[in-house]
Amino acid sequence: MQNKHQISIYSGLVVQHRQRSIKLLLPVVCIGALVYNIEGPCLAEDLTQALQAAYSRSEIIANAAAEHEADLERVTISRAAGLPEVNASLSVNEAVVGPRIGPDLLSVQGGISLPLYRGGSVKNQIKAAKAQSDASYVGKRTAEAQVFSEVVAAYANVIRDRQILVLSRENLDTLTTTLNATRARFQVRDLTRTDVAQAESRVALAQGEVETAEANLIEAMEEFQRVTGMQATDLAPMPVLRNLPPDPETAARSAVDENPDILRARAVSEARRYEWRAARGGALPSVSAVANGRYGNSMQAPAQADNSRFGATVGFSINVPLFQGGRTSASIREANLRENQALLAVSDLERRLTAQARSEYANWQASSSVVMASQRAVTAARSALAGVRAESDVGTRTILDILNAEQELRNAQVQLVSAQRDSYVAAFALLTTMGRTQAHHLGVGNRATELVPEPETDLTSDLAFAPETDEPELAASSSAGPWPKIAVEDLPIAAASSPVPPVRPAAPERQETPVVRKATPEFSPQPVRPSTRFEPTQWVIQLAAFSTQASAQQHWQEIEGQTKRLIGPGRPVITSFRSAGNEMFRLAFGPFPDFAAAEAACHDLRLGKQNCIVRRFSTLGVPQWTGPLSGEEGER
């Protein structure tokens, strides 16, 4: 008996060890399946992993990235039109019939053509290509937001349908127990056949609801696997959404300023403007400097020796278009019309996004109110059911009253679960319209292409999934259930003039206290002093993130010359923030008056093989060090 007991204990330890090993190896298997595109049983744990899986396998995001890479090549193609062209030709002739007199036996020719003036068409074509590449870069963000919206909806649908299935089974068990009790009381003549029939009818309906709930759950799980490639097993609770707007006007302003669709439309409009200018340059004269050289080896006569000749010419070439069949004028008119079309598209999209942001804000508030009302309904229905059962014991309530009370409780619970799902999806849709659900906002994707880690420190684990802002859009939920808890004081408060019900922000932004780090002897950084030249609403370019302030300053010293040469004057700034409990330091450069100017400068840095991302200064963190403005001295 003792040996059997020892064997059972040993077996239990082996099973626990195997389960722990499987849980540790599962992330490795899932990563390998995503990298090598293997269909495997990857199990989803939380929403961040689901978003990462969808980001890694989405064809929509891959297509947008490929389009951006192709547009970057257009910049190189446009620049080639303003660079020198070098041509060479070689010909060898041999007489087959008759004497070798006349043509060269060997002829080598070469020429260099340097464009000097093209009417501004080359310069504007380069700017148009850069603007188009900016548009495709923002288009990748649009694809990310689209994919993430599908993932969040699928994730929420699985949780909702799973809860509904649990409620349906609990309802079936309760009704079955009530049916058995009704039959027992019927045997002792305490109830009638009608009471038994009513209970049997409710049990049959509950069985049908369980079958429907199971089918809906299977459909939701298949949709989740389609968008993520992972199996929805034991999903973690939904994280809390941060950075929700306090009023509809804030949401509308953010949508017009940060939505990737409007940013892409503005970039396309800018590209059309430069294309129109390039088309006008086609009607102007072009000037080029040319240099040609020639070497020829020929036979003048059969009795004469070889005659080798060298020749070279240098000069200018001027091409004046006089008549081209109307092609140039038609190209100018076409470019002008397309520019007007792009401007009209921007105006229309601004109005649409403003209306959409206000509408989604109202929808989010309404769904949040439905959640609170459903919570109160569940509490009241549960109290009513207890009261009806107590009154039935003393004979003042019938079995039908109990069945109705149980059905009302079940309906209220299902409505609560559905309302929680709708509220969460509505809040995420609002953030999407505001342009705050892209990969760098949610901490998803390969951040190595956006942030430059400190060379001597491995920060991959901290930067790979670090949120873009100090308050991430997705934060861990502190509630025990799968949905973040919503109370009356958690809803935002709108302005008095707003037509929607007043609410208050769900998660007010925390204020970070400045952290003064001890200066190292090598760099001796300046004391903490916030810059007066940076406004919270201005835009800056983030260049890197480090674990120490000294490393950030050292990195700036390495890239200072290249940065100022590529994008012009500005000043560096280092700010502190906390990520995963650790203090980090961001290195940024600016400021810029609007997003378009910052994105154009960041684009030039990317062409110079320097990584960067665009952000508002208010999202960087607490200023710790500010370098001198270009031309200033003595501030470092």
Residue-by-residue DSSP string for 521-565: TTT-PPPP---SS--TTSEEEEEEEESSHHHHHHHHHHHHHHHHH
Distance from chain centroid for Cα 285: 46
- Contact 566/586 with Cβ under 8 angstroms? no
Peptide bond into 521 cis (omega under 30): no
Question: Sheet containing 104-117: which strands, arranged edge to edge?
Answer: 85-92, 104-117, 286-298, 307-319
Predicted TM-score (pTM) above 0.85 = no
State the DSSP H helix or E strand holding residue 105, giving kind and residue range, or none if neither: strand 104-117
DSSP code at position 619: G
What was the pLDDT predicted at 629? 76
d(CA 223, CA 41): 15
What's the length of the chain?
636
Cα torsion 277, 353, 250, 238 to 10°: value is -120
The domains of the chain are located at 2-59+137-228, 83-117+285-320, 240-258+356-453+476-490, 454-472+511-636
SS (H, E, C) 138-198: HHHHHHHHHHHHHHHHHHHHHHHHHHHHHHHHHHHHHHHHHHHHHHHHHHCCCCCHHHHHH
DSSP code at position 452: B
What was the pLDDT predicted at 475? 57
d(CA 429, CA 416): 20
Token output for 498: 């707003």
**Angle at Cα 218 formed by Cα 213 and Cα 223, nearest 5°?**
125
Task: Count the Cβ atoms, other than its own, within 10 Å of residue 598.
Answer: 24
d(CA 569, CA 379): 63
d(CA 25, CA 434): 38
d(CA 102, CA 301): 8
What was the pLDDT predicted at 528? 33
SS (H, E, C) 347-402: HHHHHHHHHHHHHHHHHHHHHHHHHHHHHHHHHHHHHHHHHHHHHHHCCCCCHHHH
CA neighbours within 13 Å on the CB side: how many for 288?
Answer: 19
What was the pLDDT predicted at 101? 55
Among 234, 239, 241, 49, which residue's Cα sits nearest to residue 159? Answer: 234
DSSP code at position 520: P
State the DSSP H helix or E strand holding residue 318, giving kind and residue range, or none if neither: strand 307-319
- Contact 416/379 with Cβ under 8 angstroms? no
What was the pLDDT predicted at 630? 60
Q: What is the CA radius of gyration of the chain?
A: 35
Token output for 151: 């993932």
d(CA 213, CA 210): 5
What CATH fold (topology level) applies to the domain 2-59+137-228?
Outer membrane efflux proteins (OEP) (1.20.1600)
Token output for 11: 């077996």
DSSP code at position 16: H
- Contact 360/395 with Cβ under 8 angstroms? no
Among 589, 559, 552, 584, which residue's Cα sits nearest to residue 573? Answer: 589
What was the pLDDT predicted at 232? 83
d(CA 422, CA 554): 49
Bridge partners for 312 per DSSP: 293
What is the mean pLDDT of each successive set of 10 residues along the chain, which is 636 residues long? 39 40 40 41 72 88 89 87 87 69 70 85 88 89 91 92 92 88 82 88 91 93 90 84 88 90 91 88 85 73 55 84 83 88 90 93 93 92 89 80 88 92 93 88 58 30 32 51 58 38 37 37 34 72 89 89 84 85 87 81 81 83 83 40
d(CA 555, CA 303): 74
Distance from chain centroid for Cα 12: 45
Token output for 439: 């990969």
205: exposed, middle or buried (Cβ count in 10 Å: 0-12, 13-18, 19+): middle
- Into which CATH architecture does domain 454-472+511-636 fall? 2-Layer Sandwich (3.30)
Among 244, 181, 209, which residue's Cα sits nearest to residue 471? Answer: 244
Q: Where are the alpha helices (DSSP H) in 394-496?
A: 399-433, 439-442, 460-463
